[in-house]
Structure 1
Amino acid sequence: MSPIRRLAVIPLLLTLAACQPAAEAPEQAPRRLLSMVIEPATTAEASFVGVVSPRISVTQAFRVGGTLVSRSVGLGDQVRAGAPLADLDATTLDLAVETARANLQAAEAQYANAAGSEGRLRALTESDVTTVANLQQAEQQSAAALANVVQARSRLAQATEQRSYASLVAPFDGVVTTVGAEPGAVVAAGQTVLTVARTDTRDVVIDVPESFVQNLELGTVFRVAPQLSPATMVDGKLREIAPEADPVTRSWRLKIGIDDPPPQFWLGTTATASLAAAAADTVIRVPETAIRRTDAATLVWVVDPAQSVVKARPVELGAAADGQVEVRSGLAAGERIAIAGVNSLSEGQRVAEEGKLP
């Protein structure tokens, strides 16, 4: 072939080479993936043992000190509102009342004398027998005597009230739960003598873990039964949640109110409080390692069995406990999700199953 023909063939060969398809890039190998199938679980009944306690309990103490001479009730006695409970030796207080009453009588006599003198001087002033200055002095003495009467009456009322402090009466219908002093003892003002608790309303006090208290709110209904009489079961409503956890046990104290409790709910007895899930109430829980959190959303990687790829799925989470987290929405039973390496997966990435749980 002549050199001219060879030069003419070169452009043709280059054109044919350009028309050939490019070599395909090697396909990326599927990533080995640890996954599990979502299986819903029925919410188990949560039961806790607590103590039956009075909702209202009042400490009874004298407002003055003295010697306790009598106590009308003992531990466990039922009392009615206004019933006498205990008395102090009131000799000193009685003397104070008598002194105040005598001072009042003296002040009233002085006032009567001053008022009479004022009246006589006023009559003499009108007859020009005495001066106006003498009348004014009599009026001042009468006003001072009246002020003394008012002061004496106030002191008598104060002494009478102090005398009433020597006796204790029941503030309401209830039962005596503690006794702090015996007759003959010298008690100080404010020292506990008795404790009276109401019996018409009671609480069951229980301690629960933090994972349990997160899903509660005031008014939640519990089924409560004394352990000595399990068949006596009543409904109680959660009325108080401790504002903070116990610093030692890290548990939260709950108070479940019971109105008009049966006789089996004795104060101090143990009782079981159960929070049962509604019928057919199921939850979906997944390992916390399956959750990927970003600034925009919280998601899991769902495995597409037909294409063997992973797809991101936004989810709404609930309470977490023991390495598991509740998924409230976004997942359905039977779906398979990735449970390891979720932060390094990408949308549509091909995967091959390394392990399946269960």
Structure 2
Amino acid sequence: MIKRGLIASGLTAIAIVGLAAAWQFGTAQAARPEGKAAAKIVAQPITVSSARHTRIVETVLATGTLVPRNEVLIGPEIEGLRIVQILAEEGDRIERGAVLVRLQRDALDAQLAQSDASLLKADAAIAQAKSQIAQIDANVGWTKVDLERAKSLLARGASTQAAVDQKNASAIGAQAQMRAAQDALNVAQADKANLQAQRRELQVRIARTEVRSPAAGIVSRRSAKLGAVASSAGDPLFRIIENGNVELEAEVPEARIGGLRVGQKAVVTTADGSSVDGKVRLAASEVDRNTRLGRVRISLASSENVKIGSFARGQIEIRQADALTIPASALLYDNGAPYVLTALDGVVHSKPIELGLIDAGRAEVRSGLEVGEDVVTRAGAFLRPGDAVVPVQQKAGAL
């Protein structure tokens, strides 16, 4: 009897404990909300930004090579002379007419001295011819007087016709001598003129032994070597960037070339990351049929520390507008169609938009939004329309 009582008491205690545990478990389950319901109730904090009007710039990217606007090729104007002096180096800024190279001129100087001696000889020949002319002129005058006297005596019967004929022949001979002397003078003067022309040619050749720059600019390359024989064949002695003007010769896709105009502003970024202001100087009117690219030339405002032949890219400004914009980070796409998420009364909504330009981290909205509407700028991909959110305005100054 005692054993049966103990067993009954034990079973009763176990039942009581089980009922208590079941009551506690049921109470806890009743107090715990379901997971999905809890997620709908808790609002997530999100970052939003208001749509606002800002200045937006449409640009075209052009890539290419830095080249001189005008390159001056300098070679010798006289052949066969050795280079005896080089007066310019690469990178030097030179003025128009500056002497770059001097050539050997000893032989030309000797020819010039010989020409001067020949001119002195020609002057002497001219003086001699003039003296002969003076003598013959006096003889011509005397023969004329003698002829007139003979004719007068013949008229009075004091002379003969033979004497008159003799005097007339002497006068004619004197006049022929005068013409011959005049011709000799003309020949001497022509010889002198020829010698003077030869001397001027020698002076020109001597002047060309100093190779001068026809324009001001910067020496970009020197091929001249001391002791070499100057020749117009092969590489020029120097290459000059005229006035130091450098341009970006670039290519633009045919779809964008139509928007380019002469005078448009541009920013050129060189290979080392430095930027230089520029301006469109030339926009080609044709597109290469093979590459479908059009050429454009952008002149640089400054050529300091710019190396021709190096790669560069230019951002050409083709349009500015005061447009409604939002941060580019707010953009989402559904099968290629842009849309944004807005936060209205603490609930997420989806809005399709018509997208315009994207510049400097902001996107132009042509339709679909109003000024002041808040759009989700961060973590929009993790939200769904209808989610409860707590909008947190993006800090001032941020995109």
TM score, norm. by length of structure 1: 0.59
SS of the equivalent of 1:51 reads strand
Within-5 A mapping of 1:237-316: 238-242=280-284, 244-246=286-288, 249-259=291-301, 261=302, 263-276=304-317, 277-280=319-322
Contact 1:63 1:190 in 2 (8 A): no
Taking the aligned partners of 1:160 and 1:227, their CA distance within structure 2 comes to 49
Change in Cα spacing, 1:156 to 1:193, as seen in structure 2 (3 Å) is: same
Query: Does the 8 Å contact 2:61/2:252 carry over to 1?
Result: no
Task: Give the length in aligned residue pairs.
Answer: 241
Counterpart position of 1:218: 262
User: Structure 1: any 5+ residue segments left out of the alignment?
Assistant: 1-41, 283-331, 335-358
- After superposition, what is the alpha-carbon deviation per residue over 1:145-172, rounded to whole angstroms, capped at 9, x for unaligned? 1111111111110111112222212223
SS at match of 1:65: coil
What's the counterpart of residue 47 of structure 1?
61
Contact 2:278 2:298 in 1 (8 A): no
1:200: how far off? 4.4
**Helix, strand or coil at the partner of 2:320:** coil
Letter in 2 for 1:240: L
1:190 offset after TM fit, Å?
Answer: 5.3
Q: Deviations along 1:71-103, whole A, 9 cap, x unmatched?
A: 122222222332221122223322332232222
In structure 2, how many angstroms separate the alpha carbons of the residues matched to 1:242 and 1:106? Answer: 64
Cα 1:149–1:45 change in 2 (3 A) is same
Match 1:78 to one of 93, 98, 112: 93
Structure 2 distance, partners of 1:206, 1:101, is 58
Residue 163 of structure 2 is matched in structure 1 by none
State how far apart, in whole Å, the 1-side matches of 2:215 and 2:233 are.
Answer: 19
Q: Go from structure 1 to structure 2 and tell me whether the alpha carbon gap of 1:251 and 1:153 turns closer, same or farther (over 3 Å shift).
A: same
Q: Which has the higher helix share?
A: 2
Distance in 2 of aligned mates of 1:185 and 1:234: 42
For 1:219 and 1:156, the matched residues in 2 are separated by: 52
Structure 1 position 118, deviation (Å): 0.8
Seen in structure 2, the aligned counterparts of structure 1 residues 106 and 249 have a Cα distance that, compared at 3 Å, is: farther
Indicate the SS of the match to 1:203: strand
* Aligned equivalents of 1:252, 1:92: Cα separation in 2: 54
1:62 has 2:82 as partner: no
Taking the aligned partners of 1:248 and 1:70, their CA distance within structure 2 comes to 48
Report what 1:291 is aligned to: none
Q: For 1:123 and 1:175, locate their aligned partners in 2 and report how far apart those are by CA, in whole Å.
A: 70
Counterpart of 2:90 in 1: which secondary structure? coil
Match of 2:205 among 150, 154, 162: 162
1:177, distance to aligned residue in structure 2 (A): 0.8
Q: 2:216 aligns with which of 154, 166, 173?
A: 173
Root mean square deviation of aligned Cα: 2.8
Return the alpha-carbon distance in structure 2 between the equivalents of residues 159 and 247 of structure 1: 53
Measured after TM superposition, the shift of residue 206 of structure 1 is 0.9
Where structure 2 has 5 or more consecutive residues not aligned to the other structure, the ranges are 1-55, 147-170, 325-365, 369-399
1:85-164 equivalence runs, <5 A: 85-128=100-143, 131-164=174-207
SS at match of 1:279: strand
Check the 8 A contact 2:218/2:244 in 1, yes or no: no
TM-score, length of structure 2 as denominator length: 0.54
SS of corresponding position for 1:127: helix
Query: Whole-Å Cα distance in 2 between the matches of residues 244 and 112 of structure 1?
Result: 71
1:175-209 superposed Cα distances (whole Å, 9 cap, x missing partner): 21112231122232355111111344321211112
Compare CA radii of gyration and give the structure with the larger one: 2
| 1:64–1:190 Cα contact (<8 Å) kept | no
Q: Per the alignment, in what secondary structure is the counterpart of residue 256 of structure 2? A: helix
Could you tell me how far apart the structure 2 residues matched to 1:81 and 1:275 are? 33
